[in-house]
Amino acid sequence: MKSLLRIATGGFLLATAATVFYSCQTKVQGEEKEKTKTPAVATALLQVDSTAIPNDKFGKEVKYGQQLMYNTAYYIGPEGINGKYLGNKMNCTNCHQQGGTKPFSFNLMLSHEDYPQYRAREGKVLTLAERVNNCVTRPHNGRPLPLDSKEMVAFLSYFRWINSFVPKDKPFKGQKNLSVTLPDIAANPEHGALLYEQHCARCHGKEGEGQLRPDQLTYTYPPLWGKYGYQPGSSMHRIIKQAQWLKANMPYDKATWDKPFLSDAEAMDIAAFVNDDSRHQRPDVKNFDYPHMEEKALDYDKGPFADTFSVAQHKFGPYQPVIDYWKAKGMKASY
Ligand code: HEC
Ligand code: HEC
């Protein structure tokens, strides 16, 4: 009984520990704040302890959800043992690293409480389940999971569980992406190609094809372009978004969010090369994203646009003139 209780409350205790740690930090900050009136800065680094998953029915769903994050292709890939949903053999954790808990790696620890949410890409409010299916269809090139499927319930249970480690009232470190300074000139795919050869090809391959694991079920190094990688219309296909992620996370064995390996300009050039479809001939997806063009992300590379700039400038920059134009019209450019 005693040990059962310990397991069942383990997550809560840990979450409390994180909160306590957090409030110590903010206390100091709060004092500073009073003196300087600077806005609260996210200082808490959150940790999730998988041994604290409760040993009950909910915990069972959480565990399967965690498995799905890490071994997505094995369970629901093109030859998935529990259903064939994904069109490629990538795993969620390839981008949402450490099962969506790594800071600055498209962290998912707030998702449970952030939905339902208005999404500009669809021009409507989406539930978290619908948002999960967005990633299943793009970047995973798949078909949506039924909303009441065991897999969807598991994903949602897992997101709820990782959210229990988040302090309720304060921001935490790494929930948002690292920012990159937008260069005054367009991102340069030719320069990106050289950098790719130097820093990325040893794992992701000369043709961005990645490297399948010996069992062929998924990748040791996931692909970056071609028909088995993420498609246009995925957020990773946007240059600013990808550069922010690369800065914190790649090269895999060299970069950390607090010690990035690539400069901002290098990350932009590499993202421009990786996402240059004139070179890489990605299969196109027909899509009707952003029904309201004044809500379209700045670095989205399909028109029509609510301004007079070219597709190329939206894709590669320079972005500042576009931002200024929008500002002058009283609109807010987002990316
Ligand atoms: C190729 C990279 C990639 C893969 C693989 C991927 N995603 Fe995503 N996902 C993204 C990006 C990029 C975003 C948007 C992040 C942003 O705007 O900062 C996102 C956003 C999300 C969100 C919304 C987060 C929020 O709080 O708004 C959820 C939920 C999500 N993904 C779940 C999944 C799941 C589940 C899988 C596996 C089935 C998956 N993703 C696979 C790149 C990826
Ligand atoms: C040492 C090997 C290694 C190097 C070098 C490396 N990566 Fe990665 N990369 C990985 C691994 C492993 C993952 C999957 C991470 C995970 O599952 O946690 C990944 C994931 C990615 C992803 C997201 C998943 C996808 O396939 O779309 C992108 C984008 C990416 N890397 C780009 C790059 C770029 C650009 C460089 C060069 C600046 C680079 N990587 C260098 C190993 C590497």
State residue 267's pLDDT score. Answer: 98
Residue ID of nearest Cα to ligand 1 atom 27: 111
- Domain 2-163 sits in CATH at 1.10.760.10
User: 138 in ligand 2 pocket by Cβ < 6 Å?
Assistant: no
Alpha-carbon distance of 53 to 190, in angstroms, equals 47
- Average pLDDT of 291-305? 93
Per the model's pLDDT, the better-predicted residue between 139 and 285 turns out to be 139
State residue 182's pLDDT score. Answer: 96
State residue 316's pLDDT score. Answer: 97
Instruction: Give ligand 1 pocket residues (Cβ under 6 A).
Output: 72, 90, 92, 94-96, 106, 108, 110-111, 114, 131-132, 135-136, 139-140, 155, 177, 230, 234-236, 241
Q: Percent of the chain having pLDDT more than 70?
A: 87
The region of weakest confidence among 12-26, 71-85, 173-187 is 12-26
Per the model's pLDDT, the better-predicted residue between 20 and 250 turns out to be 250
State residue 244's pLDDT score. Answer: 98
Q: Which of 94, 108, 202, 261 to mutate for ligand 2's pocket (most ligand atoms within 8 Å of CB)?
A: 94
pLDDT of 24 higher than 90: no
- Average pLDDT of 16-30? 35
| Helix/strand/coil (H/E/C) assignment for every residue in 11-50 | HHHHHHHHHHHHHHHHHHHHHHHHHHCCCCCCCECCCCCH
State residue 286's pLDDT score. Answer: 73
Nearest ligand to the CA atom of 196: 2
How many CB atoms sit inside 10 A of residue 243's CB?
Answer: 29
Residue 135 CA to ligand 1 centre (angstroms): 6
pTM: 0.90
Residue whose entry in the numeric block shows the structure tokens 């991102």: 187
Which atom, in ligand 1's list, is nearest to the CA of 139? 1
Ordered by start, the domain boundaries in the chain are: 2-163, 178-335
State residue 292's pLDDT score. Answer: 93
Q: Which helix (H) or strand (E) holds 257?
A: none
- The 8-class DSSP code of residue 69 comes to H
The reply to whether 2-163 and 178-335 are identical in fold is yes
Residue 17 CA to ligand 2 centre (angstroms): 33
Residue 250 CA to ligand 2 centre (angstroms): 6
- The 8-class DSSP code of residue 92 comes to G
State residue 308's pLDDT score. Answer: 94
Per the model's pLDDT, the better-predicted residue between 8 and 93 turns out to be 93
Q: Residue 1: pLDDT band by 50, 70, 90 thresholds? A: very low
User: 97 in ligand 2 pocket by Cβ < 6 Å?
Assistant: yes
Alpha-carbon distance of 102 to 261, in angstroms, equals 17
Q: Residue 3: pLDDT band by 50, 70, 90 thresholds? A: very low
- Domain 178-335 sits in CATH at 1.10.760.10
Q: Three-state DSSP class for 259? A: strand
State residue 111's pLDDT score. Answer: 97
The region of weakest confidence among 31-35, 57-61, 199-203 is 31-35
Residue by residue, DSSP assigns 260-312 as: -SS-HHHHHHHHHHHT-HHHH-PPP------SSGGGS-TT---S--SSS--HH
Alpha-carbon distance of 314 to 301, in angstroms, equals 6
Q: Residue 88: pLDDT band by 50, 70, 90 thresholds? A: very high
Alpha-carbon distance of 82 to 76, in angstroms, equals 6
The region of weakest confidence among 21-30, 88-97, 287-296 is 21-30
Residue 222 CA to ligand 2 centre (angstroms): 7
User: 93 in ligand 2 pocket by Cβ < 6 Å?
Assistant: yes
Q: What tens digit of pLDDT does each residue of 221-243 get?
A: 999 999 999 999 999 999 999 99
pLDDT of 30 higher than 90: no
- Average pLDDT of 61-81? 98
